[in-house]
Amino acid sequence: MANLLVLVRHGQSEWNKKNLFTGWKDPDLTDQGRAEAVEAGQALKAGGYEFDVSFTSVLSRAQKTNDAILKELGQTDLEIICDQALNERDYGDLAGLNKDDAREKWGEEQVHIWRRSYDTPPPGGESLKDTADRVLPYYHATIKPRVLGGDRVLIAAHGNSLRALTMDLEGLTREEVLQLNIATGAPIAYELDDEGKVLSKKLLIEREAH
């Protein structure tokens, strides 16, 4: 039997809605974000998914998404492990700024480089490479052994921490991962072989990624 790993990006946050750089700041979910989390749980339930453990970050938008999913699944007593390693990319000096204001301050090209290059961090923050450098060791040391040991694993995290993990799972190049956008509240179910390689990938909800 294949090993199950499901990834879910948190539902829309208040700062997603306001077009602000968020990173390690901790805004709440919007009403839409809460609805997306519930919809994610409903889609998983309809697909017959159940879990043995869930992993999430220390940020409340991911934790609340995780909780809403487990409530829909009737698994509110599930083991939940929260770790900073799964946090969103730290945007440093950009955190809390409107993306349009940031472009005015630093210029369109510079902000685009910070957002979409692989290894150029914004001032005081992390690049996608830096994010991968904390997400992937945690995945390989802590999460992957649970998956390969037969546990059905849910990860509720963030756009960039999940992009880093997807890059590793799917063997994406640095150029390919820069084009990858993960929609909020849309579960991605992977079946992995006994070495952790992807056998299949299923997107449970079709939602436009921003």
The stretches of 88-158 forming alpha helices (DSSP H) are 99-106, 108-116, 128-138, 144-148
pLDDT band of 210, cuts 50, 70, 90:
low
Structural contact between residues 30 and 177, judged by C-beta atoms closer than 8 angstroms: no
What is the rounded average pLDDT for all residues in the chain? 96
Share of the chain above pLDDT 70, in %: 99
Name the phi and psi angles at 26, rounded to 5.
-125, 55
pLDDT at residue 1, rounded to an integer: 60
SS3 of residue 194 by DSSP: coil
Q: Output the pTM of the full model.
A: 0.96
Structural tokens at position 196: 């952790």
Please tell me the distance from the alpha carbon of residue 30 to that of residue 118, in angstroms, as a whole number.
29
Q: Considering 10, 36, 39, 158, which one is annotated as catalytic?
A: 10
Give the tens place of pLDDT for each residue, 47-85.
Answer: 999 999 999 999 999 999 999 999 999 999 999 999 999
pLDDT at residue 19, rounded to an integer: 93
**Is 88 considered catalytic here?**
yes
Give the tens place of pLDDT for each residue, 6-43.
Answer: 999 999 999 999 999 999 999 999 999 999 999 999 99
**Is 50 considered catalytic here?**
no
Q: Is the pLDDT of residue 2 over 90?
A: no
Query: For the chain, which residues make up each domain, given as ranges?
Result: 3-203
According to the CATH classification, is domain 3-203 in 3.40.50.1240?
Answer: yes
Structural contact between residues 41 and 71, judged by C-beta atoms closer than 8 angstroms: yes
Please tell me the distance from the alpha carbon of residue 23 to that of residue 38, in angstroms, as a whole number.
23
Please tell me the distance from the alpha carbon of residue 114 to that of residue 21, in angstroms, as a whole number.
11
pLDDT at residue 8, rounded to an integer: 98
Q: Considering 36, 88, 126, 158, which one is annotated as catalytic?
A: 88
